[in-house]
Amino acid sequence: QITLRESGPTLLKPTETLTLTCTFSGFSITSSPVGVGWIRQAPGKALEWLAVIYWDGDRRYSPSLRSRVIISKDTSRNQVVLTMFNMDPVDTATYYCARRPNYHDMSGTFDYWGQGSLVSVSS
């Protein structure tokens, strides 16, 4: 059974750094061609693709957030971490992690998703 779970702070102040952890089970991120990514949804807004890290360490970032985001993995703990710098109220959103089953696919599919972690940014 594949599961993913997000954890991290629920409230941040502007300019602070967000660190979110995705803890997963039922698959290995050391197995080709698997990846784990982060997606967010601000209130009333569309889903937004943020970043993905793959089994071989390859990292891909949204062009609009590349300067503020780092994705990393801890294979021994089955975790993927999203770090986002200089948080702003517009970054208030539910953040999801999801499994990317196949780097080589034709559609960018995420097949299994966590339940999401609501992060609010407010002074």
Footprint of another protein on this chain (CB under 8 A)?
39, 41, 46-49, 52, 60-63, 96, 98, 102, 105-111, 113-116
Q: Closer CB to another protein, residue 106 or residue 123?
A: 106
Q: Closer CB to another protein, residue 3 or residue 79?
A: 3
CA dist., res. 61 & res. 12, Å (int): 22
Q: How far is the CB of 76 from another protein (least distance, A)?
A: 26
Paired tokens of 11: 């409230």
What's the per-residue H, E or C state across the chain? Answer: CCEEEEECCCEECCCCCEEEEEEEECCCCCCCCCEEEEEEECCCCCEEEEEEEECCCCEEECCCCCCCEEEEEEHHHCEEEEEECCCCHHHCEEEEEEEECCCCCCCCCCCCECCCEEEEECC
Q: Closer CB to another protein, residue 39 or residue 53?
A: 39
Q: How far is the CB of 29 from another protein (least distance, A)?
A: 18
Q: How far is the CB of 37 from another protein (least distance, A)?
A: 8
Q: Closer CB to another protein, residue 14 or residue 108?
A: 108
Q: How far is the CB of 84 from another protein (least distance, A)?
A: 17
